[in-house]
Structure 1
Amino acid sequence: MTNLELARFARHYGARVKVCRPYRAQTKGKVERPIRYLRESFLYGRTFVSDADLNAQVLTWLDTVANVRVHGTTGWVPAERFATVEQPTLQPLPTSPYRTGLVALPARRDAPLAASPVPSVVVERRSLQDYAALGVGGAS
């Protein structure tokens, strides 16, 4: 998607594009920090046998951990803040989707499935201090 196309897409959905300078974590913390939280609070130490398993586990985690804790910066429970502050400001989506001109081809239903099973993946939990001790990144 080109910059002009991105601007058209954002305008269609009533969104604004905010450009941040590269390598400036101070300007992107609200976007980047939740990824670290997801990785450290949810992913590390778990095993997923399929996409469906990952989706089921993350939905449970959202309902029992992420959306019910008191957020350290805002002081709000995320689910309560969304329902009270953010959801009332949401606008309905446009009646027609944004048209890109791209064409999606239907998947072949008669194609044979891959013979190999989906492997399990175990993500080991490590603290940032472990990486700092190795000289990789910094503990923050």
Structure 2
Amino acid sequence: MSLRRILAFYLDCFFSMVIILMIFIVDIVYDYNFDLDNYLFDFWGLELISIFVYYFFCEYIFGNTLGKKIFKLKILNIKESNKLKQVFIRTSARFIPFDGISFLFNNEQHLWHDILSNTSVIHKKNV
């Protein structure tokens, strides 16, 4: 797995975190009964939803996430298939435990969400 892909992942995490923090800041400003205990639970649930929406929206509409665009990475379809289904499988499979280290368990160093969705991520100069 390339350093570019790892950095793109962390940048995508940052972007999804910014989205969720903006929602919470607006909510805190307009909520007069702010309770930190309730927000900590809500934060994690909302973070999972925002990660799913961020990846799904970016990959379906633009074909890439912001992190992949910045680091000049491209998602390639290995098999032609329904794009909506492929993006849904790719996004959902990110939540499989240990997906982030699954490249250690196969020769091509693909992550499970790549394998299950029949995609591959390459550097654009290799296209």
Instruction: Specify the structure having the higher radius of gyration (Cα).
Output: 1
Q: Which has the higher helix share?
A: 2
TM superposition score category, shorter chain reference: 0.3 to 0.5
Q: Which has the higher strand share?
A: 2
TM norm structure 1 = 0.30
- Taking structure 2 as the reference length, the TM-score comes to 0.32
